[in-house]
Chains A and B, each alone.
Chain A
Amino acid sequence: MRLPLIIALNFVLSALMISYIEWFKQDEANLKALNSTYIKDIEKLEKISHINQWLESRVIPNIKERLCEAEEADKNLIEFYDLNKEAYNLYINKYIYEGNDTKNMELSYDISTHDKTKLIEFLMLRQETRFFQFKELCIDNNRVVGVVEVAQPCKKASYVSQ
């Protein structure tokens, strides 16, 4: 009587093992699918982390440096003009006007080609808090003339800086 019981037990255990195999297979497939989603999410997060690093080390400090209030931006532009009008023969083409998150001023300039130091200094003029956008530059034998737009980034009323 014991043998039939053992046989029955063996078959039941075999059936149980088969169902375990099926269960393991199905669960493994689910885990693999979940893992691939996790890996994609990890890759995304790693990418975000890299972008964050770049934002935090390069972009955000830059924004903090350049951004100022609108009134301060006006003052900066005026200060720039007053400081450099004689050196580069600056002439106001367009007085302070609003750009896209910037305050701008369009100036024309006139520099002698013989004064190479000043010319190079002017061409390399890049200040930390503002941008220079050359619109025109003409060089002939004696003079360098053209138009440059000075842009001062400033805060928008709607955005609160971090």
Chain B
Amino acid sequence: MNRFYSLCIQNNDVCILTVESRNNIFFVEAQQYIQLSELSHFLKNKTSYYVTFAQEEAVDEKILIESVIKNDHVIRRIILGKLFESCVAKKVLFNYCSISELKNGSKITYQVDGVYEDEYLHSLKKIGNWSEIKSVTINKFALFGISCECIKENSYFSIHTFGNKIIIIVIHDNTLIFSREHTIDIDNNEERKKILIEEITQTIAYVQQHFREIKFSLIALSGSLSVDDDIFEHIYILSGLGVCVLYPNTFIRGLKNEELHSHIISLGSWFVPKKYQFYPTSILGLNQYRFAIKILLGFSTAAILLTSFFAYKQYDSYAKALQNHEIAKSRLAQLAQDTKIYSNEELLHYIHHIQIVQKYIQYHPVDSLIAIKPLVELQKPQNISWEHFDEFMRLNAVFKRSFNTLEALYQFEKLFFHSLQTLGGTLYATYQNKTNYATLDFEITLTIQNMKQPTNSKELPRKRR
């Protein structure tokens, strides 16, 4: 739901409508009339204004410019120059649009609509907060806005009267192609009515003659004119066109029919297209400022959201690391408290003791005898000698056996060497074979030691199949 204010400034009087829009329906909540001097006080702390002015004189020109010129800045300079040539000496705020039907060879005809800046700003200055102005225009364009909103015909007249003023606009393809504002200063009502009808019919005839290629279908009446049946009838008879009354009550609520017609210009102020709104440079600057502020606000909000999100993610990761740190710290403290740290002297003493133990239990003859157990089971050694000094250990075993047949000797040797190969381990084994194959006497001297020493004996393993 949006609330805004429609301000219709007529000389020193201001008509204010307080409007709320809901789902494209406009509810007029209040209508007030105040003096222009009270306006800034009234608008204090209020936002969103749609402003329309009564300006007797307005710029309404058709200007031909070479079609090759497309740059907006250049076109504006040319238009200003031509307006100056056509004796428009005052400063002008204007908008322009090309009229496609009026293309003239290599030139394009531009419709130029504008207002005189000094008079315009004089009234506008009474509105203190320009940044809240959403639209600002003059009456004929407000009438254009509401007419386009109500009537869906292609080419028609829209005529509005209020007090002694009359506004006639001609609309074709949603473009204002002709306008005329006039004041009738006659007190006699009958005379005034007669002149009003004449004024209207003459204007219609002029427009029909001037725009022969356009077929007008309708005359829309609004304001005080719409309630007078005589005028209605006369216009219909004299123009030969259909006549209707503007009734925007389908989308504007809160005003009676008569009230609607007295506020047609105010109601039209928020339907005015951009091309018929005339912003002084300062308002444009303010609008640009507001636009930039909105962009910056969006950007900064996005930045804060993004950075907050990443900061939260980073914090989460940090919190986990902190938790792990606390766990590790407490575990370390607990371990440091529970773990007894022995002095170097004590540890050296224990190491020394362990070294003594190691020295005395490292070599034992039984360990070496167990190593040759498979051979002992095969043949009991004739003699065994084991010796150990410092780090050196050696076992000598002499295996002797006599055989009756070579086959038996061969088979025994095969078994013996097979068992010899399985000794392995960390011990280093060598043997001297003194077997006498002539007498069939098997004799081998086996030496097992813990380190390799130069010897003439054969080294294990020996492969025998």
Contacts and interface: CB of A to CB of B under 8 A. Distances in A.
Interface in A20-55: 20-21, 24-25, 27-28, 31-32, 34-35, 38-39, 41-42, 45-46, 48-49, 52, 55
Contacts of A59: 350, 353-354
Given A4-B293, A21-B310, A124-B366, A140 B387 contact: no
B383 A138 contact: yes
A159 B352 CA distance: 12
B97 interface: no
Contacts of A52: 339-340, 342
B439 interface: no
Residue from the set B341, B382, B387 with the largest chain A CB neighbour count within 10 Å: B387
Contacts of A100: 352, 356
Interface size class of B (residues with CB under 8 A): 35 or more
Given A42-B332, A124-B366, A101 B300 contact: no
Contacts of B208: none
Interface string B281-318: 00000000000010011001101100110110011011
Which secondary structure dominates chain B's binding surface? helix
B311 A136 contact: no
Interface stretch (B10-18, B319-327, B455-463): B319-327
Contacts of B297: 3, 6-7, 10
Interface string A50-71: 0010010001101100000000
A48 B341 CA distance: 8
Interface residues of A, number: 55
Nearest to B347: A55
Contacts of A49: 335, 338-339
B335 A38 contact: no
A62 B385 CA distance: 32
A77 to B, nearest CB: 14
A62 B360 CA distance: 14
A10 B318 CA distance: 24
B116 to A, nearest CB: 33
Nearest to A134: B365
Given A21-B314, A45-B332, A131-B357, A10 B386 contact: no
A153 B336 contact: no
A63 B350 contact: yes
Contacts of A146: 365, 386
B339 A7 contact: no
A88 B402 CA distance: 34
B384 interface: yes
A25 B354 CA distance: 50
Contacts of B328: 35, 38-39, 42
Interface stretch (A11-19, A78-86, A90-98): A11-19
Interface string B377-392: 0000111111111000
Given A18-B307, A18-B311, 9 more contacts: A7-B296, A14-B307, A24-B315, A28-B321, A38-B328, A63-B353, A123-B365, A146-B386, A162-B346
Interface of B: 293, 296-297, 300-301, 303-304, 307-308, 310-311, 314-315, 317-318, 321-322, 324-325, 328-329, 331-332, 335-336, 338-342, 345-346, 349-350, 352-354, 356-357, 359-361, 363-366, 381-389
